[in-house]
Structure 1
Amino acid sequence: MRATLYGGPGDITVGERPDPRIENPTDAVVRVTLGCVCGSDLWYYRGVNPHALGPIGHEFIGVVEQVGADVTTVWPGDLVVAPFTFCDGTCANCVAGWTGNCVNGGSFGNHGIDGGQGEFVRVPYADATLVTVPGGGHSDAIMKSLLALSDVMCTGHHAASSAGVKPGDTVAVVGDGAVGLCAIIAAKRLGAERILALSRNPIRQTLAREFGATDIIAERGDEATKLVLDLTGGTGVDAALECVGTGQSMATAFGIARVGSVVGAVGVPHDSVVPIQTVIFRNVGLRGGVAPARRYIPELLGDVLAERINPGLVFDYETSLDDIDDAYTAMLDRRATKALVRISA
């Protein structure tokens, strides 16, 4: 099969990998229809974070081609959403709902596991991992939103859920990438009354408003903190959603969080520091981390199918597998918020 291969920083090519096959009775083989490039893939592409050489890509939807003898909940022909991590569904972490931290799990597209930026993927623990999409003949818009459920929509939801967003809240979202934009959707869905989106990008500002943002904050650093405090009467926001992972974004999130609130942090950390003085003396909490996407997908799926939410709008650039390197450079150059890769019909 043809698949995207990571050869080191700046080296993304399409090459051949062995066709996946059933190796364990709990496996399934999925033909990928849509994949995409994640912001975290860019950290590998830049050489900032390590990544094993070989397959890459952890977000995909597709059609089941084969199943192992012990698989009972997905069948050949099913359209499925794959969370970005696979899980066994039975370990202590999975039972507690933290499927992204499965003891026997892992992420797609790393350490030899097939990636979502390829034609086929062997999915371990198919019953516990894959979510079947009911119905058929879904529109292209819904298919894109289903793809968003594989990671960014669930990660944005995790930020909002971790921060305890509830009806009537004033929420700030730090970061206007795909995850930050999906966090706006999540905050709106959970009932936030006022949503402040921190964004300097006019295109993303427009999408943020479409998703439910009521205020746009173009400033950064201390200026952003001061403006948010001014807009909230000096008290800060009821929930701050940190969706970047840098030192500045973390400082901003804690700087604008009101006393007793929680920062929901899901950005991959890079030189970020938790201000313990704020945690202790202002009683500001911190939750978040790797999203348990497998737990969230069934909760969000109905809203996607009913078109109550449309996270697929974050895909503003499309390529084929042949042009996968362009998908990376488009995001790296900020010509794209998130690049979609059409792999098969």
Structure 2
Amino acid sequence: MIERVAFAALAPQVRADLIYEQARAEANESLWQAVMTDINPPEPQGERRPLTGEAGLRSLLVLLGGDLNPRPPLAAATRPPDTVTPEGDAGSRRDRQPRRWDSSANIGYAETIDAAASRTGLPASVLTAIIHAEAATDAGGRWQTMSRNPHSSAAGLGQFLTGTWISETERRGTWLHAAAEARGWLDAGGRLLASARSPLLALRYDGTAAIQAIADYAAHNLATLQDAGVAMNLSTPDLARGAYLGHHLGARDAIRFLRGQMDPSRARLLLSAQIGSVAAERRIAASGDPVAAHRAWLTSYIDRAVRTIS
């Protein structure tokens, strides 16, 4: 079974802190979305914008450092069926190093990760790599379902931003869509009801919901990268790098990143959001270019994060 922390069981001060952080995050959401969404607006439901050009496995591996040769758990009655189908999310890294992987500390999540992997066709180790790169941990290395980023709206094991969590809920075929539909949280057109916004966002703190959403988002991002001409082989490290790049940047920014088409102002914004403006400006000054500084930091982080798992 998966360990879950019921919101009602938390100490009053902890609950108050969570409520305050949620309110503060939502108050700052418009600013954060200017960083993570406005330049990268979500695509219409059911459509995929045609992308041109090529970004092959060689570019992917070179860019990513590879070698070329609280909420209460979902009630059982509303658990969505295992339906399949599959932009970025990442809490502030503050230049931290990826933690060493200790599978025994998170063995309680194995069953859920395996189920999500089976449902989406992704290796369980790929999902584990994404969770491990995103989730906060305690002193014993255990992932913290109640973690949230004080610098953005990112929360839970997958550090999903508010906007991404909602868009994944409204995307047909996802586990979240089925869960929301079963709970009556969507209107006739599949859009989230205003009254369901708070309980839906609270599901980011549910381990099962977060893991299933990570799997759907990873499968969707990998499919989008492949549709854009990014050819990836089936080795776990390559898939994990590609999946995490998509999770971190969102598919369209990931494509720009791989093609070397990231706008300098966008790169500066993303790097500052991840490691803080002071550290970002220091790296930019050292490299002489925001795009190069962002690329160097992100490729190094992804390579180290994936290596801790594989």
TM beyond 0.5 = no
Give the alignment's TM-score, normalised by structure 1: 0.27
Instruction: Pick the structure with more helix per residue.
Output: 2
Going by fraction, where is strand more abundant, 1 or 2?
1
Q: Which has the larger radius of gyration?
A: 1
